[in-house]
Amino acid sequence: MSQSEINLLINIRNNSSNLSPILERVGRFITENPDYVMRHTISELADSIDTSEGSITRFCRAFGFKGFSDFRTALALEQGAARPDNAGSDEISAVIASIRDSNAIIDSQELQAAAVWLNQLDQVAIYAVGTAVPVALFLQMNLMRMGKAASFIDRFYSAAAPIYSSEQKAGIIAIHTEQASADLLQMLALAKQQGIEILSITRGTFTPLGRLSDRNLQAAVALKGEGEFGFAEVAGAMMVADRLLLALEEQDERYAACRRSQQKSIFSIESVANKLSEYFMS
C-alpha cells in the first residue's frame, strides 16, 4: 500500500488546492465529513456539496481511484484502522491531529538529505511571513543554540538580504504555513540566481515555493485551522522543524550535546498537548 493510500485524508488536504475550485470544494467537504462520505451514495454526496456526480468522480480519479466506490472503500478502511483517541478539547485534538498527520507524511530520505545539507552550511538565513514566523523563530533559536550561524529575515527587500563571502557555504530555509508575499518569492528567486540552495518547509503543497526550492519538507494541512484553532495551523510545521533539528543532531554528536545543555525538544508527539500552548504563550 502506498503512502498516499495510507494517509488518504492527509493527501487530500495537502493537494486539493492544486485542483479546480469545484474539486477543491469536494476535497474540503470530504476531509471535514469522512463519516458522512462513507455512509452515503455518490448522488447524496453531490447534493450535499451542491455539485454533480461527474465532479465527484473526477475528484476520485485525481487521487488515483477508478471511481467513488473504490474511493469510499479506501476511506472506510483507513478510518476503521486509524480512529484517533479522544484527546480532550477540540483545540488540543486539532493540534495533536496536525502533528500526527505531519509526522506520518514526512519523507525520511528527504529529511536525511536536508540534515546532511544543513550540517555542511556555515550560515543559514530563515525566511517567513505571517503565521510561519513562530516556526522560523523556533528554528533560528535552536540552530543558534546548536552552534549554527542562523538569521531570521523579516524584511524582504535587497538591503535586508544577508551578504555571504565566497569562502562561506550559505543556504536558505523558507517556511510557508498560510501566506507568502511577493517580496519573499522575489528574494528567493534572486538567491536562486546567485546559486544559493533553498530548503522549504511548507504546509501542504505550495507550488510557487516548490519551484524555487532544492528540497522540500511538507507538513500536513490542518483539518481545523485558519483562525479556528490557531495552534493547529502551525503545529505540524513546528513538528517538521523539530524533526529536522533532531536529524541534524544525528550528523554530529556535538549538536545534540549543545542543544541538550540548553533546551529539551518540546515538540515530540507525546509531549505536545501540554507544552505547545506554553511555548506560544511564553
CATH at 73: 1.10.10.10
- Whether the pLDDT of residue 14 is over 80: the answer is yes
Distance from C-alpha of 119 to C-alpha of 213, rounded to nearest angstrom:
18
Cβ atoms of residues 239 and 219 within 8 Å: yes
Distance from C-alpha of 235 to C-alpha of 60, rounded to nearest angstrom:
29
Helices (H) and strands (E) in the chain, counts: 15, 5
Residue that terminates a domain, selected from 61, 82, 103? 82
Mean pLDDT of all residues in 263-277: 47
Q: Best-predicted range by mean pLDDT among 4-8, 95-99, 149-153, 227-231?
A: 149-153
Same domain for 117 and 229, yes or no, is yes
Of the two residues 206 and 57, the one the predictor is more confident about is 57
Cβ atoms of residues 92 and 260 within 8 Å: no
Percent of the chain exceeding pLDDT 70 equals 76
In the structure, what pLDDT confidence band is assigned to residue 194 with cuts at 50, 70 and 90? confident
Same domain for 37 and 68, yes or no, is yes
Same domain for 58 and 193, yes or no, is no
In the structure, what pLDDT confidence band is assigned to residue 40 with cuts at 50, 70 and 90? confident
Distance from C-alpha of 153 to C-alpha of 44, rounded to nearest angstrom:
50
Strands (E), the chain: 123-128, 149-153, 170-176, 197-203, 215-219
The pLDDT of residue 96: 74
Same domain for 64 and 185, yes or no, is no
Same domain for 147 and 185, yes or no, is yes
Same domain for 152 and 234, yes or no, is yes
Of the two residues 85 and 257, the one the predictor is more confident about is 257
Same domain for 70 and 155, yes or no, is no
Provide the number of structural domains found in the chain.
2
Of the two residues 281 and 251, the one the predictor is more confident about is 251
Residue 276 lies in a domain: no
Residue that terminates a domain, selected from 82, 113, 133? 82
Residue that terminates a domain, selected from 58, 82, 106? 82
Q: What is the CATH number of the domain that holds 143?
A: 3.40.50.10490
From 4-13, 59-68, 117-126, 199-208, the region with the lowest mean pLDDT: 4-13
Residue 272 lies in a domain: no
- Mean per-residue pLDDT of the chain: 78
Cβ atoms of residues 16 and 27 within 8 Å: yes
In the structure, what pLDDT confidence band is assigned to residue 11 with cuts at 50, 70 and 90? confident
Q: What residues are paired with 173 via a beta bridge?
A: 126, 199
Residues spanned by the domain of 180: 88-251
- Whether the pLDDT of residue 2 is over 50: the answer is no
The C-alpha cell 481545523 sits at: 224
The pLDDT of residue 81: 53
Q: Over the Cα atoms of the chain, what is R_g?
A: 20
Same domain for 127 and 19, yes or no, is no
Cβ atoms of residues 267 and 135 within 8 Å: no
Same domain for 184 and 233, yes or no, is yes
The pLDDT of residue 37: 87
Of the two residues 75 and 156, the one the predictor is more confident about is 75
Mapped onto helix, strand or coil, the DSSP state of residue 128 is strand
* Nearest Cα residue to 131 out of 61, 98, 179: 179
Q: Best-predicted range by mean pLDDT among 151-160, 169-178, 263-272?
A: 169-178
The pLDDT of residue 158: 52
212-262, pLDDT tens digit by residue?
Answer: 899 999 888 876 545 444 567 788 888 899 889 889 988 888 887 776 666
Q: Among positive and negative, which fits the CA dihedral 226, 232, 234, 240?
A: negative
In the structure, what pLDDT confidence band is assigned to residue 276 with cuts at 50, 70 and 90? very low
Same domain for 126 and 233, yes or no, is yes
The C-alpha cell 451542491 sits at: 50
Mean pLDDT of all residues in 191-207: 87
Cβ atoms of residues 156 and 132 within 8 Å: no
Give the phi and the psi of residue 199 in degrees, each rounded to 5.
-105, 130
